[in-house]
Amino acid sequence: MPIRVLIAKPGLDGHDRGAKVVARTLRDAGMEVIYTGLRQSPAQIVEAAIQEDVDIIGLSCLSGAHNSLFPKVVSLLKEKGAEDIKVFGGGVIPDSDIPKLKEAGIVHVFTPGSSLEKIVAAVRDCVQDNE
């Protein structure tokens, strides 16, 4: 049973190289990856995650808007009774922001240069923990 992942770009940032490389990597690791494209609001992302019944959401943001956008996704999931869907994130994110994001419920934060292998392993671990 393949893991289902939603890869989304919240906010207005158009740099999707990382998101697309991660999407391909997860596919090549045998997962089903739903890619939503650019300029997604947290509400759109959560709705897509619910309708697609994904196990986990990956958010990518390089514009610095992560502090407001990532936690919004987590809180909307909670509001809709879907808090079992995990959320991880990546992008240009200062180390000092990571504890706050984790506290807000983001399970993993990947910064530039993160190894693809680690990302795949982290996604697998999260989903297995869930089951």
Partner 1 sequence: MNSTDFRNLARTISRLEDNHRETVSRIIQLPLDRPQCHIIGITGPPGAGKSTLCNQLLSQLSEKGKVAILMVDPASPFSGGAILGDRIRLNHLAQHPGIYARSLSNRGNPGGVSRWVVTILRLLMDKGFDYLVVETVGAGQSEVKIASIADTTVVVAVPQLGDDIQTAKAGMMEIADIFVVNKADLPGSEKTANMLREVAMDSSGQWKPPVCQTVATSGEGCQQLVEEISSHHTYLVDNNLLEQKRRNAARFELVEMSSWLLHRQLEELLGERQGQLLVSGQVDLYSRLEKAYEAFINSLSEVSD
Partner 2 sequence: MSDLKEKLSKWQQQYEKVRERFPERKEKFTTSSEIPVEPVYTSLDNTMDEAADLGLPGQYPYTRGIQPNMYRGRLWTMRQYAGFASAEESNRRYKYLLSQGQTGLSVAFDLPTQIGLDSDHQLADGEVGKVGVAIDSLADMELLLADIPLDKVSTSMTINAPALVLMAMYMAVAEKQDVDWSKLKGTIQNDILKEYVARGTYIFPPEQSLKIITDIFAFCADNVPNWNTISISGYHIREAGADAVQEVAFTLANAICYVEHALEAGMAVDDFAPRLSFFFNAHSNFFEEVAKFRAARKLWAEVMKERFGAENQKSLLLRFHTQTAGSTLTAQQSDNNVVRVALQALSAVLGGTQSLHTNSRDEALALPSEDSVRIALRTQQIIAHETGSADVVDPLGGSYYLESLTDSICKGAQELIERIDKMGGAVEAINKGFIQQEIQDSAYKYQLSVEHKDQIVVGVNAFETEGVPPADLLEVDPEVQKNQSEKIKSLKQKRDTEQVNKALEAVAAAAKTGENLFPPVLDAVRAYATLGEICGELRQVFGEYQAKEVL
Binding site for partner 1 (CB under 8 A): 1-2, 4, 23-24, 26-37, 43-44, 47-48, 50-53, 80-82
13 binds, among partner 1, partner 2, none (CB under 5 to 8 A by kind): partner 2
Query: Going by C-beta distance under 8 Å and a sequence separation of 6 or more, which residues neighbour residue 45?
Result: 6, 8, 10, 36, 57, 59, 73
Query: Going by C-beta distance under 8 Å and a sequence separation of 6 or more, which residues neighbour residue 3?
Result: 26, 30, 31, 32, 55, 56, 123, 124, 127
Nearer to partner 1, 106 or 120 (CB): 120
- Taking the complex as a whole, the smallest distance from the CB of residue 90 to partner 2 amounts, in Å, to 11
Residues in the chain: 131
Chain residues in the site for partner 2 (CB under 8 A): 11-17, 20-21, 23-25, 35, 37-39, 41, 63-65, 67-69, 92-96, 111-113, 115-117
